[in-house]
Amino acid sequence: NPDMWTPQLFAQLARLSHPAGAAEATVLGTFTTTGWVRRSLVEAGFAMKKVPGIGKKWEVMSGAYVGPLPGPEAPWYARPPAAPGPREALVIGAGLAGSSSAASLARRGWQVTVLERHQGAAQEASGNPQGVLYLKLSAHGTALSQMILSGFGYTRRQLERLQRGRDWDACGVLQLAFDSKEAERQGKLAAAFDRDLLQPLQRAEAEALAGVTLPAGGLFYPEGGWVHPPALCQQQLQHPGIRLLTHHEVLELRKVDQQWQAWAGDRLLASAPVVILAGAAEVRRFEPCAQLP
């Protein structure tokens, strides 16, 4: 199949290979013995030779990767190095993502302009009247679990700035063990973390806590609770370093002289050297994000 042998394939084979002498050296075999395929593999870093074939195939090619290890390439989403210039940013969208990003930058001394197409913050997905705050952990002590723990503690500290009972409450969260697999998962979590963080409850204990009849016990997060997302968004946008512009729908982004310009038709709404897109799937309307899934 000559169509499969492309320069992109040879480059990808080399990128994924380990050189001879490595703990997991890469070897390669192919039924084809075509000269140009062998030469292309050699150019990509493979030492290829003909060896006895199998069945009616008299000869095949075999070899090992002897080229250098490719240098690590940063993924497309890696943060670029900080650029010199004014510490100013645009944030498009005033939901939880946008308000949190704006507040984080403002606390670090940035001047932030938040562009929101509606009449106020948290008018779309973040406008839900109530959100549940709890931890989704792994019993294996993963880096993700550590990040979730840190984020949970940070969020609790932020919520203390809101009015408890109206904007949020630490009433605890009960997660039911709805089947045997979930019960097993919860048991592992209970063994891995302190009771101050989560507590396994039998059915009777869970019913006494919840005040209703339940089909099973579960895992109780005493520090969990609920929050009114719009209240949190509005509180985060109160920082003096943040300027919120409502009824400003960005239709196009342009990069001009190291500045991101937010346009609505022929009207320039705002500009800054950094832009943060916080509009969920809506960000695909902008050319830099058009290829995202």
Region of residue 247 (left: phi > 0; alpha: psi -120 to 50; beta: else): left
Residue 284, pLDDT above cutoff 80: yes
**Tokens 């509009």, residue?**
279
Note the pLDDT of residue 22.
Answer: 64
In the chain, the percentage of residues whose pLDDT exceeds 70 is 98
Note the pLDDT of residue 55.
Answer: 82
Handedness of CA 40, 46, 50, 52 (dihedral sign): negative
Nearest-angstrom CA–CA distance, 221 and 212:
18
Residue 72, pLDDT above cutoff 80: no
Note the pLDDT of residue 24.
Answer: 77
Note the pLDDT of residue 67.
Answer: 86
Residue 229, pLDDT above cutoff 90: yes
What DSSP line would sit under 68-104, residue for residue? PPPPP---TTSPPPPPSS--EEEEE--SHHHHHHHHH
- Poorest-confidence range of 65-79, 139-153, 254-268? 65-79
Nearest-angstrom CA–CA distance, 135 and 145:
9
115 phi and psi angles, rounded to 5 deg: -105, 120
Nearest-angstrom CA–CA distance, 18 and 25:
5
Kindly report the pTM of this predicted structure.
0.72
Do residues 59 and 53 lie in contact, with contact meaning Cβ atoms separated by under 8 Å?
Answer: yes
Structural domains for the chain? 2-65 (no CATH), 88-126+233-289 (3.50.50.60), 130-227 (no CATH)
Query: In whole numbers, what is the pLDDT of the chain averaged over residues?
Result: 92
